[in-house]
Amino acid sequence: MSTAPQDSQNTFSGAGDQAEAAPPASAPASPRAPAGKPNSFVLWVRDLLVSAAASVLIITFLYQPVRVEGTSMLPRLEDRDRLFINKFAYHIEAIERGDIVVFHYPRDPEKSYIKRVIALPGDRIRIDRGAVWLNGKRLRESYVPLEYRDTRSMPEMVIPPDCYFMMGDHRSISSDSREFGPVERSLIYGKAVFVYWPAKDAGVLR
């Protein structure tokens, strides 16, 4: 499965009153626009620029919308679901087992994949007819329904330093670390955190 990347307005007005000499009694006072008060178009442009700048900063440094392409993360993620990934999360916290992450495909960094982290650096993992064994214990995977399991096996391996073993939840169709091996930390660039579309799938990812 791969992914493809995708207010309220506050108005501030300041009244700048200035003291002026009164005109002669014989001359009628001419109406004048309040000094120093920007017109509504200037305020609209300013607010638009501020909003655009804030959006760029958020998308660049924190959250990025992506689109799911494929079905290897069923049942939680469906084809064409839209979700937010947190690009800053792993600068302040460790990658954990069970995290759903987005990474550059090791065989073609131009593509992005979304999978679940199954094993961490130093873990021993093997797969026996679809059952995942981690550090000598059977891994309980409630996120993989029975109908999405398969019977593939894999001999035991130790995950190298700074690498992570990834698998899709739809095991019978997922192309993952069983094929292309553990994923280097440098290729992981986001943590999937929230589905925002369609509405029926909206919610925090776990």
42 versus 24: the higher-pLDDT residue is 42
The Cα–Cα gap between 25 and 23 comes to 6
Q: What type of residue sits at position 66?
A: V
pLDDT in tens, 117-159: 999 999 999 999 999 999 999 999 999 999 999 999 999 999 9
pLDDT in tens, 41-79: 777 887 777 777 656 655 555 788 999 999 999 999 999
Average pLDDT over residues 183-199: 95
Q: Could you tell me which CATH number the domain at 65-204 has? A: 2.10.109.10
Query: Which residues are tagged catalytic?
Result: 72, 115
pLDDT at 166: 98
Q: How many helices (H) and strands (E) does the chain have?
A: 3, 13
Nearest to 85 by CA among 196, 197, 191: 191
> In the predicted model, is pLDDT for residue 26 greater than 80?
no
Q: pTM of the full predicted structure?
A: 0.73
Cβ atoms of 66 and 80 closer than 8 Å: no
Nearest to 125 by CA among 151, 103, 97, 86: 97
Helix, strand, coil shares, percent, the chain, to 5:
20, 35, 50
